[in-house]
């Protein structure tokens, strides 16, 4: 008897009689009067930063003002002017030198400050984790209330890999002192486009 | 470990020798518990979330056989290789054979309590495979030759000065530097080199979706992603109870997990793995290791609903004051004390007694496991099976005799009062475990029965 058959037989023998799944519509999840304000407050509380923009051009202006443009800054957004586009065929290990990566996000969640990115937006899976700083662009109309709304969208989604990212990489393993930039980006900016 | 064969009370006594450290440990965990409360109170639907999560998990346990098959089919279609392991040894052998097959002898691993439960690191060490734990807390305890003392906060028992010393010794940081920002940066540099050079990465699994064959791994540090996306082989290890039915159910569990664990609204990363990335192999090992047995124990099967948030530990007055290592099991605290006896009732017979049964653990549990009731039920099973701690058994037996015989009870009470009054050192001594850290009260002059007889007589007159 294989381990598989053994486990399945034991489980079948042990499991109790069927209990029904609860309806997900049994309660109404939280709604916010102003989802943008809520998203901004939560993201800032977990170490991220929100920047409001009117067009993709504003991103470049912001970067020139706030970043060392001698360092490697790349994007996976084709329409983003000036910024160098990621070569998706490059070996992921070579991305370790990237100072700032700018990626698009399909939507953002007000209740917890998370943005949703699939492999399509990342092009290379390691990108949003290996860069020193991360920026994500999301449309203002794509900020939703809560995770139930999020999975209403995701349930229809096809992806090979995807991630909710909420703020910079962090740890509090040393005496519960919060430190940003554990292994991934030490900063996270979310550009919200009007 | 040097603590082999010691029981929870003995190990807790050792931990309690440093009173200031116990206070610090207690307060730190209580602070995390309060953060959990604040996060929970921000959601009006918190209790409905807990109830829904509990019902989803009940459904999972009642239909686990079919969900496992559904998951296996969907995952295989996604290009994931699914393995099955009946116990810890089989699990460890599968990991080892995959590494041999790829001629890999250096790997990175992100947090997985299952691999702790299976003793994977120690096993791989005997096969000359170098494992680097990449979660900062786990790396700290690994460098110190210890195991995690908490499932979410592995080095919660370590002070920053001690970590500074440890890093000075192993990573060459300047002596005396105990700044958390500096030490974290040092670990980042040390571990980045590992991420960039190691060819295989092991992760745990927080949730696996039967419907889609995908699985979700949650971290704050990003270490699971750094490890897996830069490796040729990703091996994910999961207990069979980690299955949930559908993708949409993640909305419930991801809302509960981090809020319950640390008071964060969500972990920084909730990574959904569906298909291997081009050129990579993705393996998942489904591990039983006693879970199907626990599923058959009606009183204890609910323990399999656990999502490993650690809230029961942070709130537990015994855990906070005795430390995770005093539980001498991979998973400490109240939940560990109901999981461990299933694996080895004799070895872990002491753990269900490491509780005041106050019920705080059950009150904070995001999936509504009746933890304190199960602790009480385990005590009964353990006593019946003859595994109860010896001193406790003797005391309980004489107590049972005395309580069942009224005349003897009355005599014992009189004798006790006389002894406490006239020869107190007979009870106020180190041989009486009850006397430790307690003062005996002044004995009453008479028992309630004596008082009642006298006063009823008086009032009649």
What pLDDT sits at residue B236?
98
What pLDDT sits at residue A80?
95
The CA distance from B393 to the nearest CA of chain A, in Å, is: 32
B-chain residues within 8 Å CB-CB of A125?
A: 225, 229, 277
Name the residue among B52, B63, B288 with its Cβ closest to that of A7.
B288
Residues 6+ apart with CB under 8 A from A11: B64, B65, B68, B240, B288, B292, B295
For residue B394 the two structure tokens come to 């003797």
Name the average pLDDT for chain B: 94
SS3 content of chain B, % helix, strand, coil (to 5): 55, 10, 35
Comparing B260 with B394, the larger pLDDT belongs to: B260
* A152-to-A144, A164, B12, B86, B233 alpha-carbon distances in Å: 11, 15, 48, 36, 32
Closest CA to B118 of B90, B146, B143, B142: B90
SS3 content of chain A, % helix, strand, coil (to 5): 30, 25, 45
Tell me the HSE value of A29 on the side-chain side, using a 13 A CA sphere: 21
* Mean pLDDT calculated for residue range B194-217: 98
Distance CA B323, CA B14 (A): 10
For B144-156, what is each residue's pLDDT tens digit? Answer: 999 999 999 999 9
For B251-260, what is each residue's pLDDT tens digit? Answer: 999 999 999 9
The answer to whether residues A142 and A106 touch, using CB atoms and an 8 Å cutoff, is yes
- Mutation site for A-interface testing, chosen from B137, B220, B245 by largest number of A Cβ within 10 Å: B220
Neighbours of B455 (CB within 10 A): 10
The CA distance from B363 to the nearest CA of chain A, in Å, is: 21
Please give the residue of chain B at the shortest CA–CA distance from A12: B65
Name the residue among B52, B250, B266 with its Cβ closest to that of A151.
B250
Question: Do strands B207-209 and B243-244 pair parallel, antiparallel, or not at all (unpaired)?
Answer: parallel
Please give the residue of chain A at the shortest CA–CA distance from B244: A21
Distance CA A176, CA A192 (A): 31
Residue contact B229–A147, C-beta within 8 A = no
For the entire predicted model, the pTM comes to 0.93
Percent of chain B whose pLDDT exceeds 70: 97
Partner B contacted by A181 (CB < 8 A): yes
B residues 268-297 closer than 8 Å to A (CB): 268-275, 277, 286, 288, 292-293, 295-296
A-chain residues within 8 Å CB-CB of B43?
A: 30, 111
Indicate the Cα dihedral angle B140, B145, B148, B154, nearest 10°: -10
What pLDDT sits at residue B174?
97
- Between A and B, how many CB-CB pairs are < 8 A? 248
Name the residue among A2, A93, A169 with its Cβ closest to that of B222.
A169
Comparing B132 with B420, the larger pLDDT belongs to: B132
Residues 6+ apart with CB under 8 A from B250: A147, A151, B207, B209, B216, B244, B270
What pLDDT sits at residue B461?
52
Nearest-5° angle of CA A53, CA A55, CA A56? 100
Question: Do strands A133-139 and A170-171 pair parallel, antiparallel, or not at all (unpaired)?
Answer: unpaired
Closest CA to B268 of A99, A110, A57, A184: A184
* Mean pLDDT calculated for residue range B426-453: 77
A residues 61-120 closer than 8 Å to B (CB): 92-93, 96, 111-114, 119
The answer to whether residues A130 and A122 touch, using CB atoms and an 8 Å cutoff, is no
* Mean pLDDT calculated for residue range B351-374: 98
Residue B348: helix, strand or coil by DSSP?
Answer: coil
The ipTM, to two decimals, is 0.98
Residue contact A18–B63, C-beta within 8 A = yes
Residue contact A8–B229, C-beta within 8 A = no
B391, pLDDT greater than 80: no
Distance CA B319, CA B242 (A): 25
* Mean pLDDT calculated for residue range A6-16: 98
Residue contact A162–B274, C-beta within 8 A = yes
Name the residue among B180, B275, B277 with its Cβ closest to that of A175.
B180
Distance CA B120, CA B330 (A): 12
Residue contact B262–A2, C-beta within 8 A = no
B344, pLDDT greater than 50: yes
- Measured in Å, how far apart are chain A's first and last C-alpha atoms? 61
Residue contact B221–A177, C-beta within 8 A = no
> Cα–chain-centroid distance for residue B182?
30
Distance CA B283, CA B98 (A): 9
Partner A contacted by B212 (CB < 8 A): no
The answer to whether residues A137 and A59 touch, using CB atoms and an 8 Å cutoff, is yes
Q: Which helix (H) or strand (E) holds B384?
A: helix B371-384
B446, pLDDT greater than 90: no
pLDDT confidence tier of residue B3, bands split at 50, 70 and 90: low
* Exposed/middle/buried for residue B216 (C-beta within 10 Å: 0-12, 13-18, 19+): buried
Name the residue among A18, A112, A175 with its Cβ closest to that of B160.
A175
Partner A contacted by B149 (CB < 8 A): no
């Amino acid at each position: 008897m294989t381990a598989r058959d053994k486990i399945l037989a034991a489980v079948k023998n042990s499991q109790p009689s069927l209990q029904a799944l609860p309806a997900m519509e049994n309660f109404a999840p939280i709604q916010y009067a102003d989802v943008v304000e809520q998203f901004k407050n939560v993201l800032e509380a977990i170490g991220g930063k929100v920047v409001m923009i009117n067009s993709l051009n504003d991103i470049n202006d912001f970067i020139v003002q706030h970043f060392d443009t001698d360092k490697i800054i790349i994007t996976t957004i084709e329409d983003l002017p000036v910024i160098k586009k990621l070569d998706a065929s490059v070996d992921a290990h070579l991305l370790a030198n990237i100072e700032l990566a700018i990626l698009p996000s399909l939507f953002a969640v007000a209740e917890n400050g998370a943005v949703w990115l699939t492999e399509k937006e990342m092009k290379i899976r390691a990108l949003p984790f290996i860069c020193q700083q991360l920026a994500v662009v999301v449309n203002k109309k794509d900020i939703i209330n809560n995770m139930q709304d999020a999975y209403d969208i995701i349930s229809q989604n096809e992806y090979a890999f995807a991630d909710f990212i909420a703020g910079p990489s962090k740890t509090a393993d040393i005496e519960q002192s919060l430190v940003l930039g554990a292994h991934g980006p030490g900063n996270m900016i979310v550009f919200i486009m009007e | 470990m040097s603590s082999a064969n010691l029981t929870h009370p003995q190990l807790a006594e050792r931990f309690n020798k440093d009173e200031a450290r116990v206070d610090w440990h207690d307060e730190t965990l209580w602070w995390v518990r309060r953060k959990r409360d604040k996060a929970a109170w921000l959601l009006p639907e918190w209790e409905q979330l807990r109830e829904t999560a509990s019902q989803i998990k009940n459904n999972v346990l009642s239909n686990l056989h079919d969900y496992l098959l559904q998951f296996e089919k969907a995952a295989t279609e996604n290009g994931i290789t699914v393995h099955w392991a009946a116990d810890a040894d089989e699990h460890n052998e599968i990991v080892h054979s995959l590494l041999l097959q790829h001629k890999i002898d250096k790997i990175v691993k992100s947090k997985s309590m299952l691999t702790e439960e299976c003793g994977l690191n120690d096993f791989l060490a005997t096969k000359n495979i170098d494992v680097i734990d990449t979660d900062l807390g786990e790396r700290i305890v690994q460098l110190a030759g210890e195991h995690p003392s908490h499932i979410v906060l592995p080095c919660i028992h370590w002070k920053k000065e001690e970590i500074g010393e440890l890093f000075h010794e192993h990573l060459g940081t300047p002596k005396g530097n105990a700044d958390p920002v500096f030490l974290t940066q040092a670990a980042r540099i040390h571990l980045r080199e590992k991420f960039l050079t190691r060819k295989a990465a092991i992760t745990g699994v927080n949730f696996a979706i039967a419907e889609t064959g995908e699985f979700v791994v949650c971290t704050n540090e990003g270490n699971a992603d750094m490890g897996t996306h830069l490796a040729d082989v990703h091996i994910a290890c999961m207990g069979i109870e980690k299955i949930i039915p559908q993708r949409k159910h993640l909305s419930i569990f991801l809302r509960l997990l981090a809020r319950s664990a640390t008071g964060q609204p969500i972990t920084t990363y909730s990574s959904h793995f569906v298909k291997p990335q081009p050129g990579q192999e993705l393996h998942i090992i489904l591990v039983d290791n006693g879970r199907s047995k626990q599923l058959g124990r009606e009183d204890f099967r609910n323990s399999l609903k656990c999502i490993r948030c650690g809230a029961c530990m942070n709130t537990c007055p015994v855990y906070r004051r005795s430390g995770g290592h005093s539980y001498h099991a991979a998973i400490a605290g109240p939940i560990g004390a109901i999981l461990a006896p299933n694996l080895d009732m004799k070895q872990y017979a002491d753990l269900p007694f490491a509780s005041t049964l106050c019920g705080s653990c059950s009150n904070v549990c995001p999936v509504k496991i009746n933890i304190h009731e199960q602790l009480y039920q385990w005590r009964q099973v353990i006593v019946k099976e003859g595994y109860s701690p010896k001193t406790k058994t003797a005391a309980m037996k004489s107590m049972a005799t005395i309580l069942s015989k009224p005349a003897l009870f009355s005599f014992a009470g009189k004798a006790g009062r006389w002894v406490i009054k006239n020869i107190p050192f007979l009870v106020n001594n180190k041989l009486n475990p009850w006397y430790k850290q307690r003062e005996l009260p002044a004995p009453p002059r008479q028992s309630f029965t004596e008082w009642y007889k006298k006063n009823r007589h008086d009032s009649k007159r």
